[in-house]
Structure 1
Amino acid sequence: GISRDELCITTKVTVENFSPERFMPSVEQSLRDLRLDRVDILLLHWPTPGGDIKLSLELLQEAQERGFASTIGVSNYTAAMMRQAKQITGVPLVTNQVEFHPL
């Protein structure tokens, strides 16, 4: 079989869970579903509707600080959002996973 250290496991938090009451329970449920203590990458699934990305990024960073993720990133952020995210977070975002449909 494949050992855990040969895998890069990623999960996402959906926009519906971008509140202080729902964010960490959502991450904890994902970890239970995956039967893991942490993931390699935790992503925000989409930018926050309305464009205010500060709270979701702070919650994402908190999840990393709690040990739920080794690294953090985002999905579908514009270049301007990436610049703003860099100013908000004290840690690097390892990826911006962008939706792409070649066909």
Structure 2
Amino acid sequence: MTGRTAVTIYRAPPADALLVAPLDEFTAVFHHASGITHLLTEPAPQILHALGEEGMTLDALLATLSVEYDLADGDREALAARLDELVVSGLVAAA
């Protein structure tokens, strides 16, 4: 047996599965599949945008967000917590 550890890939739904509307400090995201509208604050909308359908690992996402955005939650543990919230909400898939 090898000592391999599974790497989680996080994916956002297809762009046409979400209706996104910025509302001041919130972003409303209507998820067509569930029929639920989510009110998100930073960095959740940026996470969804960066992930795309192709998906990324936690570390790749952190690197991408660090380059593209100035995030208040700029550490690995905080990003993992945000991803967990998005997975529970159904807006992000983890595999």
Same fold (TM over 0.5): no
Q: Give me the TM-score of the superposition, normalised by structure 2.
A: 0.31
Name the structure, 1 or 2, with higher relative contact order (CA <8 Å, separation 6+): 2
